[in-house]
Amino acid sequence: MRLLHFICSKVGDLGKNSIFEKIFFMRPLMLLLMLSIYSINVNSQVDSLHYEKTQKDNRFKVAGRVITNSIITIPGDFSEMGHSISKNWTTTGLYAAGTLALIASDYHTTVFLQDYIEPAIDYTLPEIDPFTNNPPWLGGEDAYISYPLIALYAGSFIANSEKGQRAAANAFKSMAYSFVISHLFLKSVISRKRPDAKLSGDAPAEYPYTKDHWDFGYYHGVTGGTQQYGTAMPSLHATAYYAVAKVIQMEYDNYWLPYGFVTFVFMANFSDHRHWVSDMLVGGLIGTIIGRSVVLNSRKHIEKTQNEFTGSRSKKIQIKKQLLPQISSKGVGLHFIASF
């Protein structure tokens, strides 16, 4: 404004001066005017303005959108998991070699776990038994994972927080995928026997357990229930727990709380897991892939939806502003043009 006031005042003074002074002053004045117009035009040019008020949707509409997106992104979740494995075969090969090395050393590492680690962390969590016959994942240590997620979703629904509902939905999806991938598929294919409770002892292993860490191929059939025979690798609890931890970590950008809490729950009543060390590490790795893939695919879907919405809105309402100089025999001024 000060610049325009200065220019206008100078233009007004020209009528009082000589022709030589007018010519001498007009050239830098016009240059200054054009630079000011260019600056205003650059800073005020708007490609697209959305004048429609953005009001937050009600909680039922938000909840419906979250549930719908959770369902329609299921195929993309599995594609993202496949991409995580196939995008770098060198890395995948290194993980496979590392898994084989863990299996080869399983006897010694699991003996150390049973004899030294498990006695040092021998603790249990208070039972959560709201039902006479608890549904799956709503009793025992699993309840400490499921009920916080239920509370997160319920609280986010009440607060109309789409982020919280999405985080809870993605976590539940990750748990479901863990059950399908680890329990129904991989356990049935790998069919590894679980370790005996006392590997370092002289007594023979009790059925259906083993002291041989190479006992694979004991097919038990596909079952959704709890079974000890041939169901060692991978650990379902490690898969599901760390899939949830990965989801919460990515949604809230916090490592310590989700991983610390999940590890604390996982290690409660640790000796009852009856797993080789590699079973739990592989389960945690699979869970991490599942949780990461679910969140990445969710973000891609949200970004795609937002881009489509922005594109459709920008076609409906557009305004372009231009500030142009106007020079005539009567004076010098600025011309404002708005095109819709």
pLDDT in tens, the chain (340 residues): 444 444 444 444 444 444 434 434 444 444 444 544 444 444 444 443 343 434 678 999 999 999 999 999 999 999 999 999 999 999 999 999 999 999 999 999 999 999 999 999 989 999 888 777 777 888 889 999 999 999 999 999 999 999 999 999 999 999 999 999 999 999 999 999 999 999 999 999 999 999 999 999 998 888 777 788 999 999 999 999 999 999 999 999 999 999 999 999 999 988 888 999 999 999 999 999 999 999 999 999 999 988 876 665 555 545 555 555 656 556 556 555 655 5
User: C-alpha distances in angstroms, 268 versus 11, 74, 141, 190, 237?
Assistant: 84, 32, 7, 26, 12
Q: How far apart are CA 238 and CA 240, in angstroms?
A: 6
Contact 194, 213 (CB under 8 A): no
- Which two tokens mark 27? 């050239």
